[in-house]
Amino acid sequence: MTELIPMPRDVVAGSGEVRLTEYSQIHAGPGAEGVGQWLSGVLRQATGLPLREGWELDDTDGDGIGLRLAPGLGAEEYRLVSGPSGVLIEGGGAAGVFWGAQTLRQLLGPDAYRRAPVGRDRTWAVPHLTIEDAPRFRWRGLMLDVARHFMPKDGVLRYLDLLAAHKLNVFHFHLTDDQGWRVEIKKYPRLTEVGSWRARTKIGHRASPLWEEKPHGGHYTQDDIREIVAYAAERHITVVPEIDVPGHSQAAIAAYPELGNTDVIDTTALSVWDTWGINPNVLAPTDNTLRFYEDVFEEVLELFPSEFIHVGGDECLKDQWRQSATAQTRMRELGLKDEDELQAWFIGHFDGWLSARGRRLIGWDEILEGGLAKGAAVSSWRGYAGGIAAARAGHDVVMCPEQQVYLDHRQDAGADEPVPIGYVRSLEDVYRFEPVPAELTPYEARHVLGTQANVWTEVMEDQARVDYQAFPRLAAFAEVAWSSLPVPAERDFAGFERRLAVHYGRLDALGVAYRPPTGPRPWQRRPGVLGRPIDGPPPNR
């Protein structure tokens, strides 16, 4: 059972095995208690063994699990030794111990992922071996869009478990968009009362003639968010919230029409958007809007301890600003030469506002247009170019080019993908994704914090569809983000596939509705449902 994903840095096999028995104990040393609780919780469920706490690390029974900090290791680095005196996992920090515990779970076999034991005669064995391991990147993320289709809280918690099982440590939570506002803001209740529901929903690409003629919506209360953030923290995952400005804001404008360009259109006539595409209704660049969003971010900061706060900034159409006397006056007052600079001013305002509160702004790569403040970071989605420019200008970057790691995009060119949008990105394409562009010098490359895969949900109406798009590609992505793989052409994809054959068993035990490698696929294209035009860069959403 050493077919591990992601691949560890170094594995040395021994002979023999550690058997967990009803006498086995778990001992968590100082600083590793949280991991001990998590591990004993999941393993008691799966094995039915009592796994009592208190085994001393120097015990010679040889059937226990020890967890402890080891100061010589990096914070996320771990060493797992399975030998005659049991299993010992040491990490530089609790995070390292936790990733080691995830490896242990893989070593115990797929049934270790179940929530109750499935057989009485089962033995639980860990082969004797030594693993030394550490991540390549400190930002190993998944972005989930819960605005286009709402994912109820239980589904989000489940995704956090799936991230943890793949050693991913950033959950980028896309909470607001034209089609829905998903987080309770106490000061502005209409954001969720009005902004979290739409009357109907386009099925497929925006050119499709089909509609789902029923209301869609939902939101997380502030206590839901606290629960999600705490659950993530127990799994050493940081939740980075995204609140979009100044584009992707129609749901907010529908709830509070004064946020829009009221001298251009009748914003009181807007409702939460029911189709896809790039939306012309952007926030008005007024003091009122700035104060409103400061209030929103005030509550967001209280809920999310993350250093980075994502403000969107992508796909902001500027036609309304061109037509708005208010916006034009503002530009003149500020001495701005065009609407790009107005967007930069808007983003710059929140950059300063967040910095003054000890946080850092991150936004999609459009925020580079018109200048960007020093501490701000960029999610490079329109390819590598934004990330390269940002790194050269001294900004930190998360690489997530849509051509490579947009998991909403179809996984093959055949006719059986449910809604065949975007670029074809096969499992192998994702496995050969390289987050650090060759153009960067090693010095510039230090600004690449890491990478994330993005899951936009226009065409994913429920969890099972998200699973189908995300898996197994997220397993390949996790290896790219964690393991120090060779250059893309030299990566052992066949070896990955062999390990993946075992990994499917883990995903089965976890109940993941992944895209099966062969045979009938659970999603057939529905007649009349269109994807994006198939070839060339997708007209985005």
Is 177 among the residues known to form the active site?
yes
Q: Does 184 bind ligand ACM (CB under 6 A)?
A: no
Q: Which residues pair with 173 in a beta bridge?
A: 144, 241
Smallest separation (angstroms) from ligand ACM to the CB of 379: 7
The neighbour count for residue 200, using CB atoms within 10 Å, is 13
Report the C-alpha gap between 203 and 190 in whole angstroms: 26
Measured from the CB atom, the residue of 43 and 143 that comes closer to ligand ACM is 143
Smallest separation (angstroms) from ligand ACM to the CB of 540: 6
Which of 314, 434, 497, 508 binds ligand ACM (CB under 6 A)? It is 314
Smallest separation (angstroms) from ligand ACM to the CB of 314: 4
Smallest separation (angstroms) from ligand ACM to the CB of 51: 44
**HEC assignment per residue over 269-305:** HCCCCCCCCCCCCCCCCCHHHHHHHHHHHHHHHHHCC
Which of 159, 321, 381, 496 binds ligand ACM (CB under 6 A)? It is 381
Measured from the CB atom, the residue of 156 and 421 that comes closer to ligand ACM is 421
Measured from the CB atom, the residue of 126 and 405 that comes closer to ligand ACM is 405
Measured from the CB atom, the residue of 292 and 364 that comes closer to ligand ACM is 364
Smallest separation (angstroms) from ligand ACM to the CB of 296: 20
Handedness of CA 142, 148, 153, 154 (dihedral sign): negative
Measured from the CB atom, the residue of 278 and 534 that comes closer to ligand ACM is 278
Q: Are 415 and 397 in contact (CB under 8 A)?
A: no
Smallest separation (angstroms) from ligand ACM to the CB of 380: 10
Which of 76, 315, 417, 429 binds ligand ACM (CB under 6 A)? It is 315
The neighbour count for residue 13, using CB atoms within 10 Å, is 11
Measured from the CB atom, the residue of 64 and 386 that comes closer to ligand ACM is 386
Measured from the CB atom, the residue of 63 and 178 that comes closer to ligand ACM is 178
Query: What is the three-class DSSP state of 343?
Result: helix
DSSP designation for 485? -
Which element (helix H / strand E) includes 503?
Answer: helix 493-510
Q: Are 326 and 284 in contact (CB under 8 A)?
A: yes
Smallest separation (angstroms) from ligand ACM to the CB of 428: 23
Shortest Cβ contact with ligand ACM: which residue?
Answer: 314
Measured from the CB atom, the residue of 174 and 202 that comes closer to ligand ACM is 174
Joined tokens for residue 111: 């049934």
How far, in Å, are 182, 185, 395 from residue 220 at the CA level?
6, 10, 32
Q: Does 77 bind ligand ACM (CB under 6 A)?
A: no
Smallest separation (angstroms) from ligand ACM to the CB of 454: 7
Identify residues 521-540 at the interface with ligand ACM (CB under 6 A): 540
Which position among 315, 365, 458, 479 bears the catalytic label? 315
Q: Does 364 bind ligand ACM (CB under 6 A)?
A: yes
- # binding residues, ligand ACM (CB under 6 A): 5
Identify residues 464-483 at the interface with ligand ACM (CB under 6 A): none
Report the C-alpha gap between 60 and 63 in whole angstroms: 8
Amino acid present at 45:
Q
Smallest separation (angstroms) from ligand ACM to the CB of 273: 15
Would strands 397-399 and 448-455 be described as parallel, antiparallel, or unpaired? parallel
Report the C-alpha gap between 342 and 349 in whole angstroms: 11
Smallest separation (angstroms) from ligand ACM to the CB of 402: 6
Q: In angstroms, what is the C-alpha Rg of the chain? A: 24
Query: What is the three-class DSSP state of 95?
Result: helix
262-301 footprint of ligand ACM as x/- string (CB under 6 A): ----------------------------------------
Report the C-alpha gap between 349 and 292 in whole angstroms: 13
Which position among 27, 166, 248, 503 bears the catalytic label? 248
Joined tokens for residue 295: 């209030």
Q: Which residues contact 255 (CB under 8 A, 6 or more apart)?
A: 181, 188, 190, 191, 193, 194, 195
Q: Are 444 and 475 in contact (CB under 8 A)?
A: no
Residues for the chain: how many in total? 541
* DSSP assignments along 103-146, one per residue: HHHHHT-GGGGSSS---SS--EEEEEEEEEE--S-SEEEEEEET
Which position among 133, 145, 177, 339 bears the catalytic label? 177
Report the C-alpha gap between 285 and 345 in whole angstroms: 9
Measured from the CB atom, the residue of 235 and 248 that comes closer to ligand ACM is 248
Measured from the CB atom, the residue of 184 and 408 that comes closer to ligand ACM is 408
Torsion on CA atoms 341, 342, 343, 346, rounded to nearest 10: 120
Report the C-alpha gap between 186 and 169 in whole angstroms: 29
Residues identified as active-site: 177, 248, 315
Under the rule (CB under 6 A), what is the footprint of ligand ACM? Answer: 314-315, 364, 381, 540
